[in-house]
Amino acid sequence: MTVPSPFFAKERFAMISKRVEKPDHQHFMKEAIKQAVTALEKGEVPVGAVVVWKNRIVARAHNQMEMLRDPTAHAEMIALTQASETLASLEEARPRNRDHRGSLEGATLYVTLEPCPMCAGALVVTKCTNLVFGARDPRAGSCHSLYHITEDDRLNHQVKVTGGVMADDAKFLLSEFFKGLRKEKR
């Protein structure tokens, strides 16, 4: 499979490695975008994610569906799993009972594309506190666009959702990837 040259993406996002004194949504979304660029370079759909707990990144991931030949290997799923493992090993992250059980209470997932139903469900199950996403997904978005799984009060946990953070940057990577796919099909 031919993908668009990652040169444009690297050039466009060269500034994202600069450290911000006071972390905010844009700072962490830039880190998720770095992961999406990695996915693009590997021929994956360019979606990246990071999980933040107490203002530090505890997990980073990008889509790996092609590489792993696993349709569930979304950036969000991989990042949530990594974060659960990381927090389970941190003494300060453990709740009152000594068994952590993978809870992501107090954590924020930053992802470049609005999560699908599977990933939105995982956010609820892991009890992630916040979700910040870049581009909306009109075909599969399950946090604002099609469904509101993460904010459904019929479920045992709700996730606070903020969308549209650096959406243009996330859309750019996605459009470059799909342009390359269309050229390949010609």
| Residue 48: both structure tokens together | 């990246």
User: What are the distances in angstroms from CA 138 to CA 62, 114, 152, 167?
Assistant: 20, 9, 19, 13
Question: Choosing from 31, 44, 76, 114, which is the catalytic residue?
Answer: 76
Asked whether 140 and 163 are in contact (CB, 8 A), the reply is: no
Our answer to whether residue 76 is catalytic in this structure is: yes
| Residue 185: both structure tokens together | 């099909």
Spatial distance between the Cα atoms of 177 and 156, rounded to a whole number of angstroms:
37
Q: Are strands 130-135 and 107-113 parallel, antiparallel or unpaired?
A: parallel
Residues assigned a catalytic role: 76
